[in-house]
């Protein structure tokens, strides 16, 4: 019965996405705009990138494509997560009256968010691989998905804790500061505290997958663990905010 | 009730509804300082190997970029939500006898007031967080106020054309993020391209005010041109939207 409820709620969420073609168009166009703009406009030079303590030189266009992929996925999924939870709060209360338990709702919303993360990741990775060929495409896509899902959960938590305006402010700054500024492999002197930021493990794995033949499994383990920990926090916050027994 | 009084009433109602959200007010005060500090720290971690083209030190350029971004983005998001939340209220006000011009005036004045507040907060934060004194605080405020006004209008434009919170936020957030990177001039992207970024000229005005202590007069006219362009576009979009509702 629970499976049926969750499937129904997720399919309703997906149907709501489908009913807003502008949203789908934006989710497809914005990755092309962000990644494409940087790839086309950055100068045609090579830059030294520090990966796991080793410096490798890569074309700036490849670097821009690889670097803007997790930024794009995080921004878009974060905002989608924020509005997913805010738009569904009244619907969740009604679903509660219809017999849904809190677990049904949590699993349903996470399922819908995961679909959103997959869509955004697919669009972002597709644009990126049209510009350059990562050393390990599968690992590159997996790391992007982990970054997207992490920020999607963060968007959900922010959406529950803050109002819409405040939530958009937070999700406007968070991915830019975390990924673009503090996980940038061009940097050589990052403060120690940046190691605990949400995208640390996933972006480390992503840059390894983009520019080196080997990927540290521990980076993926760390990224998955971070995502699960954040998910646990999100579930607790969601339970406390949902008026369903 | 006179036309001026109606407009003042509309502005007052908007600002009151804004002030009733203490978290939003706190964000407007805290985020510029936070953004300036974080951008400054983060740019300080990059080596000087010639990739980044900065007028001053990378840390100073980072703080300037953080200030311009915070001012523009905050004003833009505010303009967007102001438009979306006011959509139905404006229809009711029109039924009560408010004219289109009064409604437009009230919305624009509300966003202008909020942008000015953000600009003042960002100016004070930037002056306080820079390592050296700023010789041209007036020029600095001019640049930040222009950034806020341009993005406030862009928020109104997006909110009029795409009056949905999720889609409008996505568009504005992505545009602000990309525009900010282009405007910073850090990545050596050709000026023939970056000059079309709405934040580019306010960024140049703020940079010259901080680094040289003077007003970048060559960038004032292009910045005002951007402002005028967005003003015309947002008035047209708002008028079309209100007309479509009637």
Beta-carbon separation of B167 and A165 below 8 A: no
CA A99 – CA A96 distance, rounded (Å): 5
Domain definitions of chain B by residue range: 3-245
CA–CA min distance A1, chain B (Å): 32
The pLDDT of residue B32 is above 70: yes
Distance in angstroms (rounded) separating the CA atoms of residues B102 and B97:
10
Residues A159 and A84: their CA atoms lie apart, in Å, by 8
Which residues does chain B have within 8 Å of residue A165's beta carbon, measured at their own beta carbons? 21, 24, 27, 77-78, 81
Choice between A9 and B153, residue whose per-residue pLDDT is larger: B153
| A43-101 pLDDT per residue, tens | 888 888 888 778 888 998 999 899 999 999 999 999 999 988 887 777 777 877 877 77
Mutation target among A17, A173, A183 for the B interface, most CBs of B within 10 A: A173
pLDDT for position A170: 87
* pLDDT grade for B246, boundaries at 50, 70 and 90: very low
pLDDT at B170: 86
Partner residue opposite B46 with nearest CB, options A22, A166, A187: A187
In chain A, residues with a C-beta closer than 8 Å to the C-beta of B166 are 23, 79-80, 83, 87
What is the longest distance spanned by two Cα atoms in chain B? 64
Looking at B49-58, B187-196, B203-212, which range is the least confident one? B49-58
pLDDT at residue number A133: 93
Residues of B within 8 A of A37 (CB-CB) are 178, 182
pLDDT of residue A2: 58
Lowest mean pLDDT among A150-159, A169-178, A235-244: A235-244
Average pLDDT over residues B6-32: 76
pLDDT at B5 over 80: no
Please judge whether A191 and B189 are an interchain contact, meaning their C-beta atoms are less than 8 angstroms apart. Answer: no
Which residues of chain B make contact with A164, given a CB cutoff of 8 A? Answer: 81, 165
The residue among B187 and A183 whose pLDDT is bigger is A183
CB contact under 8 A, B173 and A165: no
Amino acid B165: pLDDT? 84
Looking at residue B55, its pLDDT comes to 64
Contacts of A184 in chain B (CB under 8 A): 42, 46
How large a percentage of chain A has pLDDT more than 90? Answer: 40
Q: Is the pLDDT of residue A14 over 80?
A: no
Q: Which of B46, B167, B193 sits opposite A22 (nearest CB)?
A: B167
Taking contacts as CB-CB distances below 8 angstroms, the residues of chain B near A189 are 44-47
Give the HSE-up count for residue A160: Cα atoms under 13 Å, Cβ half-sphere: 20
CB contact under 8 A, B24 and A26: no
All residues of chain B having their beta carbon less than 8 Å from the beta carbon of residue A168 are 77, 81, 169, 173
Closest residue in A to B168 (Cα–Cα): A23
What is chain A written as a DSSP string? -HHHHHHHHHHHHHHHHHT-HHHHHHHHHHHHHHHHHHHHHS-S-EEEEEETTEEEEEEHHHHHHHHHHHHHHHHHHHHHHHHHHHHHHHHHHHHHHTT--HHHHHHHHHHHHHHHHHHHHHHHHHHHHHH---SSHHHHHHHHHHHHHHHHHHHHHHHHHS-HHHHHHHHHHHHIIIIIIIS-TT-S---GGGGGSTTHHHHHHHHHHHHSS---HHHHHHHHHHHHHHHHHHHHHHHHH----
CB of A147 within 8 A of CB of A224?
no
Give the pLDDT score at B59: 84
Q: Is the pLDDT of residue B176 over 60?
A: yes
Q: How confident is residue A211, by pLDDT bands cut at 50, 70 and 90?
A: very high
pLDDT of residue B243: 61
Cα–Cα distance measured from residue A199 to residue A163, given in angstroms and rounded to the nearest whole number: 24
> What pLDDT, in 10s, does the model give residues B134-172?
889 999 999 999 999 999 999 999 998 888 888 888 888
- A132 Cβ under 8 Å from any chain B Cβ: no
Q: Which pLDDT tens digit goes with each residue over B196-231?
A: 889 999 999 999 999 889 999 999 999 999 999 999
Cβ-nearest to B170 among A47, A79, A162: A79
Which range has the worst mean pLDDT, B30-34, B51-55, B70-74? B51-55
Q: What is the pLDDT of residues B74-116, one digit of tens each?
A: 999 888 888 887 777 777 777 777 777 777 778 888 888 888 8
Chain A interface test: which of B31, B66, B170 (most A C-beta within 10 Å): B170
- Is the pLDDT at A215 greater than 50, yes or no? yes
Residue A54: the pLDDT is 82
Q: Identify the pLDDT of residue A84.
A: 86
Angle separating helix axes B3-19 and B22-43, nearest 10 degrees = 70
| CA-based nearest distance A108→chain B, Å | 20
Distance from CA of B1 to the nearest CA of A (A): 32
Task: Report yes or no for ipTM above 0.85.
Answer: no
Tens digits of per-residue pLDDT, A113-132? 999 999 999 999 999 999 99
> Residue B158's closest CA among B74, B77, B244?
B77
Q: Extract the tokens encoding A79.
A: 């905002």
Q: Do residue B38 and residue A20 have CB atoms under 8 angstroms apart?
A: no
């Amino acid at each position: 019965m629970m499976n049926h409820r969750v499937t129904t709620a997720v399919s309703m969420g997906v149907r709501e996405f489908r009913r807003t073609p502008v949203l789908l168009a934006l989710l497809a166009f914005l990755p092309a705009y962000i990644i494409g703009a940087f790839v086309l406009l950055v100068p045609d030079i090579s830059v030294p990138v520090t990966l796991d303590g080793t410096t490798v030189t890569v074309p700036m266009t490849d670097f821009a494509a690889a670097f803007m992929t997790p930024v794009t996925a995080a921004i878009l999924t974060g905002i989608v997560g924020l509005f997913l939870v805010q738009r569904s709060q009244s619907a969740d209360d009604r679903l509660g009256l219809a017999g849904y338990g809190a677990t049904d709702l949590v699993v349903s919303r996470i399922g819908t968010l995961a679909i959103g993360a997959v869509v955004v990741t697919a669009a972002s990775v597709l644009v990126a691989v049209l510009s350059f060929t990562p050393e390990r495409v599968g690992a590159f896509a997996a790391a992007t998905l982990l970054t997207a899902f992490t920020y999607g959960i963060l968007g959900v938590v922010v959406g529950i804790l803050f109002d819409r305006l405040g939530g958009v402010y937070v999700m406007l700054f968070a991915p830019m500061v975390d990924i673009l500024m503090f996980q940038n492999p061009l940097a050589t002197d990052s403060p120690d505290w940046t190691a605990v930021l949400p995208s640390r493990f996933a972006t480390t794995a992503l840059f390894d997958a983009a520019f080196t033949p080997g990927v540290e499994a521990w980076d993926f383990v760390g990224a998955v663990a971070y995502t699960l920990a954040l998910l646990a926090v999100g579930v607790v916050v969601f339970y406390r905010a949902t008026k369903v027994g | 009730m006179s036309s001026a009084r109606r407009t003042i009433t509309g502005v007052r109602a908007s600002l009151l509804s804004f002030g009733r959200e203490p978290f939003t007010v706190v964000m407007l005060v805290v985020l510029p300082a936070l953004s300036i500090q974080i951008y400054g720290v983060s740019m300080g971690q990059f080596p000087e190997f010639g990739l980044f083209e900065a007028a001053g030190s990378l840390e100073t350029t980072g703080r300037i970029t953080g200030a311009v971004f915070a001012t523009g983005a905050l004003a833009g998001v505010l303009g967007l939500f102001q438009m979306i939340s006011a959509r139905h209220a404006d229809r009711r006000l029109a039924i009560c006898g408010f004219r289109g011009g009064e409604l437009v005036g009230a919305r624009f004045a509300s966003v202008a007031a909020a942008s000015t507040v953000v600009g003042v907060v960002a100016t004070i934060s930037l002056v306080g967080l820079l390592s050296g004194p700023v010789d041209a605080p007036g020029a600095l405020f001019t640049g930040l106020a222009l950034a806020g006004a341009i993005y406030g209008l862009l928020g109104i434009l997006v909110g009029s054309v795409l009056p949905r919170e999720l889609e409008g936020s996505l568009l504005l957030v992505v545009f602000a993020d990309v525009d900010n990177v282009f405007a910073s001039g850090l990545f050596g992207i050709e000026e023939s391209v970056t000059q079309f970024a709405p934040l580019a000229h306010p960024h140049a005005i703020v940079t010259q005010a901080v680094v040289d202590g003077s007003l970048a007069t060559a960038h004032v006219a292009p910045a005002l041109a951007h402002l005028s362009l967005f003003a015309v576009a947002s008035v047209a979009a708002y008028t079309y939207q209100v007309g479509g509702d009637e």
